[in-house]
Amino acid sequence: MVLCLLLGLAFAAEPAPLPYADALQRALDNNLTLQAAGLEVEAADGALLAARGDFDPLLTSTLAHARGTDESIQQFGEVLSRYQATSWGANLSQRFATGTTLDVGLSTAKTSFRYELRDSSLIVESEEPQYQSRLGASLSQALLQGHRRDYNQAAIQRAAAARSIAELEHKALRDQTLALAATRYWDLWYQARRVELAQAAITLAEEELRVVSARVEQGTLAPVERTRAESLLVAARAQALQAEAARRAARDQLLLVMGESAGADLRPSTPPADPSAAAPEPAAAVEAALAQNPDLARLRRAAEQAELERALAAHGRLPSLNATASYALLGYETSQGAAIGEVFTNDLHEWSVGANLAMPLGNRADKGALAEADARARQARLSTQAEEQAIAQAVRGQLDALLTTRATVELAQINLRLAEETLTAERALRQAGRAIQRDVLAAIQAVNDAGVALEKAKADHQLARIELQRLQGSL
């Protein structure tokens, strides 16, 4: 009685139907780990934008006012000097990927002074402020180290590589999430089918017990046969409880992958597809995996960046040699407008050309950096090759698993048909008095076992197909 009550409670509520596509989409939408990986891509976008900002024009402006009092001893006596100056200016600086730096600036200064010779009480003071304006440009060009674009854009290259790797990691985690959701879905589907088969087994056992009890009452069967039938019914009910417990556990695991709270009842409503008659051609399957697997793509991108880092380290061994040039127009008048106007007359000007050379003696730092970058590049290449071999082997293994599980499904279908036909035959023989009740009960159990084995084979085939798709990056 207690067992019947437990079964009634277990099967009372009707689970909500859940299509396969909905389960996968809910996993993509709600899985917290996948959302965190998506934020990593957004962070990489920000880092890439910041790296590109190194080549943004830089505008600086200055405004200053200074006053001072000074005392000095000159050949004509002690001098007390006072001055004040107000200056303002703006400068625009631009750095280019070619190793060129350009600065253009305009500045103006307003000055006034007063000199007092203390020994003679002679005072010299500017009658009105003086204005000095300057419009100048300077250019610096790297000739050795720093003349390559990729060397100057190394920060952008690293940020772009980090962004690509983060995106590929997100893709790999997305595929893993889909594969896990699919695995949990088909596990729940299998456990739900176990529950349905267990319920059918209970019905079958109850009917068998009814028939056996009637024959025992008629005296055509020994009482022990009724006990055997009762044992079969109890075993069927126990298996039903186990199947229901396994179904609830599989349901909660699927809900966890979908980022939802445990407890909501679900019923997979999409049946598994029939096994395909033709398996993918091995060479084509391996080629697809090598071309699309996100984990392998991530390693290849890292290897590309390692090769670039080696090239940059080799370039970094060169001395730093920069050619410089500057030109400025000057104006010096008693009014700001006149001083600025004089700038454009080109009466006052200055220019310079030169070069700066910096070369570390021994250069051990750059040599060590190149040795490290070379080892990292070779390491990344070997890791990529190892992953290619592992993926190719895994794909071939999954192709074998597809063939094996397809054969298992076919065998399970035949075994179920055989078990059903055997049960029919045993019942007919029992009616004719040519078979004992124990053989009928064994045939009933064989039908139950064959039904469960068939559903398990179907689920295993789906899982083998999903894992192959994950390896090929086609989920």
Phi, psi at 153, each rounded to 5°: -100, 25
CB 258 within 8 A of CB 23: yes
Domains contained in the chain, CATH given = 176-308+372-471 (1.20.1600.10)
Residues in the chain: 475
The amino acid at 465: R
pTM: 0.77
Pairs from 208-217 (Cβ < 8 Å, separation ≥ 24): 208/232, 208/233, 208/440, 208/441, 208/444, 209/233, 212/437
Query: Using CA atoms, how far apart are residues 164 and 58, in angstroms rounded to an integer?
Result: 29
Query: Using CA atoms, how far apart are residues 74 and 80, in angstroms rounded to an integer?
Result: 10
In the predicted structure, residue 249 carries a pLDDT above the cut 70: yes
378 sits in which H/E element: helix 364-431
For residue 118, the model assigns a pLDDT of: 67
Residue 344 pairs in a beta bridge with: none
Q: Give pLDDT tens digits for 298-340.
A: 999 999 999 999 999 999 999 999 999 999 999 988 888 888 8
Q: Give pLDDT tens digits for 191-228.
A: 888 898 888 889 888 887 888 888 888 887 788 888 88
Q: Which has more confidence, 5 or 104?
A: 104
Q: HSE of 433 in the Cβ direction (CA atoms, 13 Å)?
A: 2
Radius of gyration of the chain (CA): 43
